[in-house]
Amino acid sequence: MSVESAHGQALVERIRRKEALIGVVGLGYVGLPLLMCFAEAGFRALGFDIDKQKVGALREGRTYIKTVDARRIAGALEHGLEATTDYARAKQADALIICVPTPLNRSREPDLSYVINTVESLLPHLRAGQVMSLESTTYPGTTEEELRPRIESRGFALGEDYFLVFSPEREDPGNKHFSTRSIPKICGGSTPACLEVGLALYRAAVDQVVPVSSTRVAEMAKLLENIHRAVNIGLVNEMKIVADRMGIDIHEVIRAAATKPFGFVPYYPGPGLGGHCIPIDPFYLTWKARQYGVNTRFIELAGEVNRAMPEWVVEKLAHALNVRSKPVRGSRILVLGIAYKKNVDDVRESPAAEIMEILRARGAALDYSDPHVPVFPRMREHAFELESVSLTARALSAYDGVVLVTDHDAFDYALIAAHARLVVDTRGRYAEPAGNIVKA
């Protein structure tokens, strides 16, 4: 065991006995499930967030994330779960796990302000014998370049009286096969002792923990996972355009190719990338790579292809309307699904918002329908004063075009096809050709 200091040994022992207080900072789509995971593993859990509404909801046993059932929150409250906006209580915690956003700024460069502001808020309240874990996805070097100096500025010696790790989140909202507990957890430490403390922390609540040699390896591993998906989606989106020009159904092509039992993994085209990870993470690496004189052309090309998809979808809609002697301007358009993926209420970076912005700029009259998002939420770059429309035969027939962006299982696809004048299908939901169905 690499933990030789008295502080480290005492902390590991508190974790082993489940006497440690686990603090999770940032109670969004990553932090809230993680908080529940530790609470359900038998730990005292304390959630921190600057959003008073989230904290108030948790205190009352209410959920604000569809994938975290209110009954789980109520059960955790009975076993001592707490939520607070008071960062001074960080001194009480034995572990502080940071789960805050890492978006891009308007220049598509990393915005670490949430991470840095959170750490700065915590700094006055840190004490010896704590472990801090950063879970927010970021570029390699963030933990050592941004967190470590700030912690050491308080006079702590990492690996002796304070412990620092990076353990990237791997949440997949709506995935019924994997949970926070069952998804393997990568962990890298600033020192060998830090790693041992981090492993003890996560092994107490997660089924499998994967140690790596450094925080930089852990940071890069997370980026590779998501860049792998972004590049392959970019490839299949480009293939979709080629197939469309040739009059070939790309979804039929993928189904055929996927029958090969080796050497091929199916990826599916769509209206653009969504969610916090895949549209954003590649640019964290491209930005950092430039500091090393490396031009990540392959990654950036995939990003260009994927970012062009909302415009491509609108052009397909515009062409289909034109064939029907209708301009985009003045047409009534219904967008089906504004969540970034099916069967969830998460709208982060959803391509639906970009498609709606383009259509609004072209003069279309917009509505949307999403059973998981009843009111269009506040977003950093998009604002629509809209509520979800109920799908009925009469409602569908009133629109000039319906754009299927997110293929929730709750939609009645037969009803849509039977009564919509025009359906632009960006997800390949309609396998059989029809006069009112256009593939995009």
Residues 384-438 pLDDT 10s: 999 999 999 999 999 999 999 999 999 999 999 999 999 999 999 999 888 999 9
Please give the structure tokens belonging to residue 328.
């985009």
Position 108 scores a pLDDT of 83
SS3 content of the chain, % helix, strand, coil (to 5): 40, 15, 45
Position 279 scores a pLDDT of 87
**HSE of 114 in the Cβ direction (CA atoms, 13 Å)?**
20
Q: Could you give the residue ranges of the DSSP H alpha helices within 22-144?
A: 31-40, 52-59, 70-78, 113-122, 142
Q: How confident is the model at residue 288 (pLDDT cuts 50, 70, 90)?
A: very high
Q: How confident is the model at residue 351 (pLDDT cuts 50, 70, 90)?
A: very high
Closest by CA to 204, choosing from 5, 15, 3, 414, is 15
Which position among 99, 187, 194, 277 bears the catalytic label? 277
User: Beta-carbon neighbour count of residue 428 at 10 Å?
Assistant: 20
Q: Strand 401-404 to strand 423-425: parallel, antiparallel, or no bridges (unpaired)?
A: parallel
Residue 380 pLDDT more than 80? no
Position 1 scores a pLDDT of 54
Backbone region of residue 123 per phi and psi (left: phi > 0; alpha: psi in -120 to 50; beta: other values): alpha
45 backbone dihedrals φ, ψ, rounded to 5°: -125, 140
Please give the structure tokens belonging to residue 380.
């950093």
Position 56 scores a pLDDT of 97
**What span, in angstroms and rounded, lies between the C-alpha atoms of 431 and 440?**
13
Q: Do residues 85 and 47 make contact, with C-beta atoms less than 8 angstroms apart?
A: no
With H, G, I as helix, E, B as strand and everything else as coil, classify residue 275: coil
Burial code (b: 16+ CB inside 10 Å, e: under 16) for 26-47 equals: bbbbbbbbbbbbbbbeebbbbb
| Domains of the chain as residue ranges with CATH | 6-213 (3.40.50.720), 214-307 (3.40.50.720), 308-440 (3.40.50.720)
Residues 69-105 pLDDT 10s: 999 999 999 999 999 999 999 999 999 999 999 998 8
Residues 293-309 pLDDT 10s: 999 999 999 999 999 99
Residues 141-199 pLDDT 10s: 999 999 999 999 999 999 999 999 999 999 888 788 899 999 999 999 999 999 999 99
Residues 204-242 pLDDT 10s: 999 999 999 999 999 999 999 999 999 999 999 999 999
Instruction: Please say if 194 is a catalytic residue.
Output: no
Which residues make beta-bridge pairs with 85?
Answer: none
User: What rounded mean pLDDT belongs to the chain?
Assistant: 95
Q: Do residues 339 and 372 make contact, with C-beta atoms less than 8 angstroms apart?
A: yes
Which residues make beta-bridge pairs with 166?
Answer: 134, 188
Position 185 scores a pLDDT of 98
Please give the structure tokens belonging to residue 101.
């956003």
Average of per-residue pLDDT across 302-325:
96
62 backbone dihedrals φ, ψ, rounded to 5°: -100, 150
Contacts of 39 (CB under 8 A, 6+ apart): 45, 76, 79, 80, 81
Burial class (CB in 10 A: 0-12, 13-18, 19+), 213: exposed
Sign of the torsion formed by the C-alpha atoms of 290, 296, 301 and 306: negative
Position 67 scores a pLDDT of 86
Position 80 scores a pLDDT of 92
Position 66 scores a pLDDT of 86
Closest by CA to 219, choosing from 287, 172, 168, is 168
Average of per-residue pLDDT across 24-44:
96
Burial class (CB in 10 A: 0-12, 13-18, 19+), 71: exposed
Average of per-residue pLDDT across 134-145:
97
**What span, in angstroms and rounded, lies between the C-alpha atoms of 27 and 394?**
41
